[in-house]
């Protein structure tokens, strides 16, 4: 069987596994291709790019932190991060499981053509929200959420926009496409 690499836009509420659990859906609700596996994970309450492949070596290369494949996230946070918070993210943040590697962090406008989330993100009239773009090379459990909380700006919505050269561009939630192998 020929090797395949697929990009999937994982909706909110879907696990990075084929089997559903509790209130969360599984990938089997969206993907019916035998012999493919997830390369890396994305929490059920996060959205965006997930890579899948039928090639075990490629799966390891994508998901193993030793290969340092960059992951780009669009993060809607509560509040408006100041320059000091961005600098902390850029230098690495101390988390309960140790310091993070430095991230690329910048403010951004709300992503163009971003779909509505179901259910919608909670809003509080007295607290503004803003968007950040964070690029990291690690993949610890809930790392981006913990990083923004550590600098005082809790994450409200998290969308993975890219993994290395692969992006969400043109990919609606719940859809997938084959991409060329690296």
Number of neighbouring beta carbons within 10 Å of residue 116? 8
Q: What's the pLDDT band for 136 if we cut at 50, 70, 90?
A: very high
**How far, CA to CA in Å, does 69 sit from each of 5, 27, 96, 102, 117?**
15, 23, 24, 14, 27
Q: 61: pLDDT confidence band, cut at 50, 70 and 90?
A: confident
pLDDT digits (tens, 9 = 90+) for 13-25: 999 999 999 999 9
Whether residue 52 is found in the same domain as residue 75: no
Can 118 be counted among the known catalytic residues?
A: no
Q: Residue 116 belongs to a domain with what CATH number? A: 3.30.70.1560
Query: Do residue 41 and residue 101 come from a single domain?
Result: no
The model's pTM? 0.94
**Can you give the residue range of the structural domain that contains 133?**
70-163
> What is the average pLDDT across 36-51?
94
Number of domains present in the structure of the chain: 2
Query: Which of 64-68, 80-84, 87-91, 95-99 shows the lowest per-residue confidence on average (mean pLDDT)?
Result: 64-68
CB atoms within 10 A of CB 136: 21
What percent of the chain clears pLDDT 70, i.e. is strictly above it? 100
Closest CA to 146 of 99, 82, 83: 99
Lowest mean per-residue pLDDT among 15-19, 65-69, 155-159 = 65-69
Catalytic residue among 43, 55, 97, 178: 43
Q: Judge contact between 151 and 101, C-beta under 8 A.
A: no
CA distance 129 to 76: 7
Higher pLDDT, 128 or 81: 81
Do 55 and 74 have their domain in common? Answer: no
49 and 119 belong to one structural domain: no
Asked whether the beta carbons of 74 and 108 are under 8 A apart, the reply is yes
Shared-domain flag, residues 74 and 159 = yes
Span 63-75, mean pLDDT?
87
Residue 29, pLDDT score: 94
How many angstroms separate the CA atoms of 177 and 51, rounded? Answer: 10
pLDDT band at 173 (very low <50, low <70, confident <90, very high): very high
Alpha carbon separation from 83 to 10, 106, 121, 127, 170 (Å, rounded):
31, 9, 25, 18, 32
Q: Do residues 85 and 107 touch, judged by C-beta distance below 8 A?
A: no
Residue 134 confidence (pLDDT) above 90:
yes
57 and 88 in a single domain? The answer is: no
The mean predicted confidence, pLDDT, of the chain is 93
Based on the domain organization, do 85 and 155 belong to the same domain? yes
> Span 85-112, mean pLDDT?
96
Same domain membership, residue 130 and residue 172? no
| Rounded distance between C-alpha atoms, residue 23 and residue 174, angstroms | 17
CA distance 94 to 100: 6
Do 84 and 28 lie in one domain? The reply is no
The answer on 109 and 130 residing in a single domain is: yes
**Contacting residues for 22 by C-beta, under 8 A, at least 6 apart:** none
d(C-alpha 165, C-alpha 105), whole Å: 18
Whichever domain contains 25, its CATH number is 3.30.70.580
């Amino acid at each position: 069987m020929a090797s395949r690499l697929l990009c999937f836009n994982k909706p909110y509420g879907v696990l990075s596994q084929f089997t559903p659990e509790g209130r969360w859906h599984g990938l089997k609700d969206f993907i019916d291709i035998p012999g493919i596996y997830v390369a890396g994970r994305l929490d059920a309450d996060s959205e965006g790019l997930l890579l899948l492949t039928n090639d075990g070596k490629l799966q390891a290369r994508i998901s193993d932190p030793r290969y340092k494949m960059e992951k780009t996230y669009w993060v809607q946070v509560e509040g408006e991060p100041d320059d000091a918070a961005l600098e902390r993210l850029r230098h690495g943040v101390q988390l309960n499981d140790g310091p993070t590697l430095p991230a690329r962090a910048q403010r951004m406008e709300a992503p163009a053509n971003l779909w509505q989330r179901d259910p919608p993100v909670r809003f509080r009239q007295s607290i503004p929200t803003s968007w950040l773009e964070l690029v990291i090379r690690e993949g610890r459990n809930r790392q981006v959420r913990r990083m923004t909380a550590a600098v005082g700006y809790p994450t409200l919505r998290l969308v993975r926009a890219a993994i290395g050269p692969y992006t969400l561009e043109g990919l609606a939630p719940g859809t997938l496409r084959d991409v060329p192998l690296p």
